[in-house]
Amino acid sequence: MGNHVSFRPSDSTGKVIFLDGSVHEFDEQITVAELMMDHPQKVVVEFQSAVNQKRPTPLPADKKLEMKKIYLMLPVKQGKPI
């Protein structure tokens, strides 16, 4: 048997996936800064940019996360995100 993971977000929520595999769903707009305050030494990137780019660009702290999108929370290593 295998596992099936779908990365298609539901219509009314956004999702943040953490490195440990846990998922936080949000149904109200939050900012990158709010997530970074709760999770120091981490940055937020859009899932699609992480898939499409060799080195995804961290989102600015004042960016409001959009519903219907998936984001990843990645650790900062030596001043740069992984």
With contact defined as beta carbons under 8 Å apart, do 61 and 32 qualify? yes
12 DSSP assignment: S
Average pLDDT over residues 1-23: 73
Q: Which two tokens stand for residue 7?
A: 């990365």
- pLDDT of residue 35 exceeding 60, the answer is yes
Indicate the pTM of the whole model.
Answer: 0.76
Average pLDDT over residues 55-81: 86
pLDDT of residue 12: 78
* Beta strand pairing call for 70-77 and 14-18: parallel
What does pLDDT average to over the chain?
Answer: 84
pLDDT of residue 77: 74
Residue of 63, 57, 69 whose CA lies nearest to 16: 69
Q: Which residue has the tokens 């800064």?
A: 33
Q: State the architecture of 14-81 in CATH terms.
A: Roll (3.10)
pLDDT of residue 59: 95
Average pLDDT over residues 12-24: 92
Question: Residue 37 region, left (φ>0) first, then alpha (ψ -120 to 50), else beta?
Answer: alpha
- Domain extents for the chain? 14-81
Average pLDDT over residues 63-81: 84
